């Protein structure tokens, strides 16, 4: 698993937030001393390779982004989250990007709306998500030229 979570370097990437304020994606300071909801991260990594399916919410039927997060949160911690990304963005507590921990939810603006995509942070500047039709659940870098400018917020769910 170490190769999957390899650190993408200590580079910092500027990001445009939904409200226009700039934030920098840097190495997580909190990650070095805290574990967060790491069970979510572990469960999410275990689903890498499951096909994308719009409206999907099971490994057998495939996942869309919110279906993946709902499934993982329930299986890992018994947390019941709403099904849509917008509703999900209201749960938990917003945390600074540099305070993210494995298991935090990572929200993106991929369609012109601040909460149009969600993934689960797994550590070392990586997140798991169900990207799009024809794809599979996969791990990607927050530092990529596609994802970095689209990051809108990080939210931490309550531990149960």
Do the Cβ atoms of 41 and 76 come closer than 8 Å?
A: no
Active-site entry in 10, 43, 65, 113: 65
Residue 126's SS3 state is: strand
- φ and ψ at 79, to 5 degrees? -85, 130
Q: Does 129 qualify as catalytic in the annotation?
A: yes
- Give dist(CA 123, CA 142) in Å, integer: 10
Do the Cβ atoms of 115 and 152 come closer than 8 Å?
A: yes
- Give dist(CA 39, CA 157) in Å, integer: 12
The DSSP result for 9-64, as a single string, is -S--EEEE-TTS-EEEE---SGGGT---SHHHHHHHHTTTTPBB-TT-EETTTEE-
Q: Does 65 qualify as catalytic in the annotation?
A: yes
Q: Which residues pair with 108 in a beta bridge?
A: 117, 151
**Which residues belong to the active site?**
65, 117, 129
């Amino acid at each position: 698993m170490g190769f999957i979570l390899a650190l993408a370097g200590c580079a910092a990437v500027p990001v445009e937030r939904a409200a226009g304020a700039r934030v920098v994606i840097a190495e997580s300071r909190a990650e070095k001393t805290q574990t967060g909801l790491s069970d979510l991260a572990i469960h999410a990594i275990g689903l890498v390779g499951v096909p994308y399916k719009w409206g999907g919410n099971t490994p057998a039927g495939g996942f869309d982004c919110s279906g993946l997060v709902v499934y993982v949160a329930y299986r890992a911690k018994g947390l019941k989250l709403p099904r849509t990304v917008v509703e999900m963005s209201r749960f938990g507590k917003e945390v600074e990007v540099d305070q993210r921990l494995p298991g935090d939810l990572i929200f993106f603006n991929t369609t012109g709306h601040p909460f149009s995509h969600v993934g689960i942070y797994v550590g070392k500047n990586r997140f798991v998500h169900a990207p799009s039709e024809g794809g599979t659940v996969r791990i990607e870098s927050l530092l990529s030229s596609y994802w970095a400018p689209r990051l809108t917020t990080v939210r931490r769910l309550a531990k149960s």
